[in-house]
Amino acid sequence: MRTNQLKASLRYLLATIVAGLLAACTADQDVEEATQAANTDHLSEPIVVYSSRKQHLIEPVFEQFTQQTGITVEYTTDKAGVLIERIKIEGQNTPADLLITVDAGNLGYAAAEGIFQAINSAVINETVAPHLRDEQDLWTGLSLRARTIVYSTERVKPDDLSTYQGLGESQWQGRLCLRTSKKVYNQSLVAMLIAEQGEVKAEQTVAAWIANLAISPTSNDTKVMQAIAAGQCDVGIVNTYYFGRLEAKNPDLPLALFWPNQSEAENSGVHVNVSGAGILKYSNNPDQARRLLEWLATEQAQALFAGLNKEYPVISHGAIDPQVSAWGAFKQSPLALSKAFQLQPAAVKLMDRVSYK
């Protein structure tokens, strides 16, 4: 009888163990299936982008990304300052995953306000030059523009031009036009002059520009070029994509670009800037935001993203828009664009001291 009881006890114990193992397997399977479902749901979520880059410059890019990956992109456009403040107010509740904006100064400000997280992408690090990325890995450039000299082909010879500093020489007295100092593009330019020359020499350069102005600073780069074409001045400083837009509308406009500071000096070169992006600190979808950034660094995406705005790709092997390529090659300044934001306060004070309005 005891033998039968023992057998029954063993059978019960064995059944209990088997049941426990089956339950554990079922639980593990349930966890795995739940994880897979969560991952699938996450992959199906749209990437939400806040962009200061206008709709017609980003919509075709996002459409191509969706065609190739099946991942949709939702976006909102506004001015950079408005979007950054919105992200700060939304905090952890922000629906946005990525901020795209223009100028390293704006990107640096966004990073300083604590709204970005580290990108952590080997692809970005391998394809985008270090000086076109944030030193703390909080943002990366996506397209490149140069802030360079534009001149009248009717009244100026290329041999008359040399450097940014040269625009302060006496031969340009009453012949120079500039955009207002209130805009971030010139603040970043002067900040980079400080990084290159030191504050004392940079102030001498900018003061000499102001002494050579033909008219009061204009509100935008297009007006600088229009003033040159109208004979109000002969030379100016503009972003290349503004020239590209104007040239596309009027190919016979008597203007051309000049690449200054092309010597072999260590910090010499044309001052460049970027359109760029960073992954938001409270993104609900950072992996997919990173995937979009990495896709934007591909040759195909670069050609579209940069070409739509007459800009240059940030990758060295990227295809350049034919109109942009026709302007010729140039050596760009190797200085880290992170300095554009770091030195902007000094740049603003400098411009105020020399009465650059």
In this prediction, residue 223 carries a pLDDT of 98
pLDDT, residue 264, reads 85
What is the SS3 assignment for 332?
Answer: strand
Parts of the chain belonging to CATH 3.40.190.10: 46-144+273-320, 146-271+339-353
- Rounded Cα distance between 45 and 284, Å, is 9
Q: Which amino acid is at 54?
A: K
What number of other Cβ atoms are within 10 A of residue 174's Cβ? Answer: 11
| Separation between Cα atoms, residue 177 and residue 103, nearest integer Å | 21
Which contacts qualify for 306-310: CB closer than 8 Å, 24 or more apart?
A: 306/142, 306/143, 306/144, 308/56, 308/57, 308/60, 308/61, 309/53, 309/57, 309/143, 309/241, 309/244, 309/275, 310/240, 310/241, 310/243, 310/244, 310/245, 310/248
Rounded Cα–Cα distance for residues 300 and 64 (Å): 10
CA dihedral defined by 226, 79, 334, 312, rounded to 10 degrees? -60
Superfamily of domain 46-144+273-320 in the CATH hierarchy? Periplasmic binding protein-like II (3.40.190.10)
Distance, in Å, from the CA atom of 37 to the CA atom of 39, rounded to the nearest integer, reads 5
Q: What is the pLDDT of residue 4?
A: 42
CA dihedral 227, 203, 143, 222 (to 10 degrees): -10
Asked if 99 and 278 count as a contact pair (C-beta separation under 8 A), the reply is: yes
Residue 215 φ then ψ, to 5°: -140, 170
Could you give phi then psi for residue 169, rounded to 5 degrees? Answer: -75, 160
CATH of 146-271+339-353, one of 3.90.45.10, 1.10.630.10, 1.10.150.120, 3.40.190.10: 3.40.190.10
Residue with tokens 């900018």: 206
List of the chain residues with pLDDT < 50: 1-41
What is the 8-class DSSP label of residue 280?
Answer: B
Q: How many CA within 13 A on the CB side of residue 176?
A: 24
Q: Under a CB-based contact definition with an 8 Å cutoff, are residues 113 and 281 in contact?
A: no
Asked if 269 and 252 touch (Cβ cutoff 8 Å), the reply is no
CB of 43 within 8 A of CB of 71? yes
Q: What is the pLDDT of residue 266?
A: 79
